[in-house]
Amino acid sequence: MTLPILDTLAVWWGERQAGELSIDKGGALHFAYSPDWLADEKVPALSQAMPKQEEPFGDHACKAVFGGLLPEESQRTAIARALGVSPDNPFRLLEALGGDVAGALAFLPQGEEPLQDYSKTAPEPLHEGGLAELLDRLPSVPMLAGEGGARLSLAGAQSKLPVVLTTDGGIAIPRPGEPSTHLIKPEPDRFPGLAANEAFCLALARALGIDAAHAEWRTAAGKPFLLVERYDRISVEGTAHRLHQEDFAQALGVPSNRKYAAEGGPTFRDSFALLRSAATRPAREVLKLADAAIFNLIIGNADAHAKNYSLLRLEAGEVVLAPLYDLVATHMWKELSPKLAMRFGRAATLEEFDGENVVRFAEEAGLGAPYIRRRIGELAQSIVHENEKGVAVPGYIHKDSIAKIAECTVERAKLAEYKL
């Protein structure tokens, strides 16, 4: 028996309402596309897990796709506490935070339309002291939840905040309705050097020709943080516009709490199959994902789970593998598990990796083992070469501090090539 609907949010894609997200009196979520969206053959589905259809989608799909836009773990708990709602109620969290999320969507109360003209007031840049204070507060008040103004959300367990840049490069909180263009990631006290580590890994990936997010290491009153440019935003005549994206967990209909393959989440086999069905040019995107998997294996990024790979819909409608993000050599912290979030073949670590796992991974990817073997060798050699030249990390001036990461990365690259 269907329970009565308790409340509804309008789901917008740019200037058009795509559908409605509802919660019933039992707490279950439902989503239905609007008739206009269904009738327009030029507009896509909101998710690979939610093809265009008249029949509404139920709680499981809604929590995987829309709940997957929300912060996770302790971040979600802190937000829920600040808002006075349950962390297990994604509807109320989206109601409070869903004005600017990953991708092109926005969640608004019924009858409210997206603000298009927010240019009457300029964003107020945060001075260094204010930015340092913000970095201190974010872990306990994620997304500035409950403080009014912009309604912001990003998935993930790590503290972060969507922001915009002013014309002189300053950092500001987005005005209500304004798409954020960057995000700031404060460095956790628990993991000193994390900001430099991620900046290095992203810069190394780009040096190898791997598409990865652009990031800059910065400080505010001595507090390090990472400033990351959002790849799901473009500038049109000086105005930011949203591009749609969804991570692999969302696209496969898997909730955030099952993002790890060991917990029943997506594997590389699932991920390659997704790309083959969703990408406009699957042959090209599959090769990019193979490179990403090899790169994460070599640098020791054990946290490359299904929410750290995404599909991106470009302005012309082409669906591609999104630039890589959250690239961290997690093996640098011994208290973190060294086991890969997605096994490379059957190998959970580089130490377990061998030629047999090359064959298994190639089979999962639908590629030839000789090709995978060659790419591992090529990327390993390129990693050694780029580190010998010196990887330029934007904004980072303490060269000695990343020398250890570079040294370990070179050692791992040589080990990967040796194990072939």
Q: Which domains does the chain have, with CATH numbers?
A: 5-109 (no CATH), 128-229 (no CATH), 261-419 (1.10.1070)
Between residues 119 and 203, which one has the greater pLDDT? Answer: 203
- The model's pLDDT over 287-338, given as tens digits with 9 standing for 90+, comes to 999 999 999 999 999 999 999 999 999 999 999 999 999 999 999 999 999 9
Question: Is residue 393 a contact partner of residue 200, using CB atoms and an 8 Å limit?
Answer: yes
| Predicted confidence (pLDDT) at residue 353 exceeds the cutoff of 90 | yes
- Strand, coil or helix: what is 271? helix
- The model's pLDDT over 181-199, given as tens digits with 9 standing for 90+, comes to 999 999 999 999 999 999 9
| Predicted confidence (pLDDT) at residue 144 exceeds the cutoff of 90 | no
Question: Is residue 326 a contact partner of residue 303, using CB atoms and an 8 Å limit?
Answer: yes
Helix, strand, coil percentages for the chain (3-state, nearest 5): 40, 20, 40
Helix residue spans in 232-310 (DSSP H): 248-251, 268-278, 282-299
Amino acid identity at 176? P
Residue with tokens 């377990």: 352
Residue with tokens 């896509």: 44
DSSP 8-state class, residue 191: S
DSSP codes, 53-93: -SSPB-HHHHHHHTGGGSB-HHHHHHHHHHHTS-TT-HHHH
Q: How, if at all, do strands 239-242 and 171-172 pair?
A: unpaired
Q: Which of 296, 201, 306 is nearest to 246 (CA)?
A: 306
Q: For the ranges 54-58, 177-181, 323-327, which has the lowest average pLDDT?
A: 177-181
Chain-centre distance of CA 37, in angstroms? Answer: 26
Strand order in the sheet with 223-229: 171-172, 161-165, 182-186, 223-229, 215-220
Q: Is 100 a catalytic residue?
A: no
* Separation between Cα atoms, residue 97 and residue 115, nearest integer Å: 15
Q: Which of 310, 321, 231, 307 is nearest to 279 (CA)?
A: 321
Amino acid identity at 58? G
Set 100, 291, 303, 326: catalytic member: 303
* Separation between Cα atoms, residue 317 and residue 2, nearest integer Å: 36
Residue 31: pLDDT band by 50, 70, 90 thresholds?
A: very high
* Separation between Cα atoms, residue 45 and residue 300, nearest integer Å: 35
* Angle at the Cα of 115 from the Cα atoms of 118 and 35, rounded to 5 degrees: 155
pLDDT of residue 280: 98
Strand order in the sheet with 244-247: 244-247, 310-313, 319-321
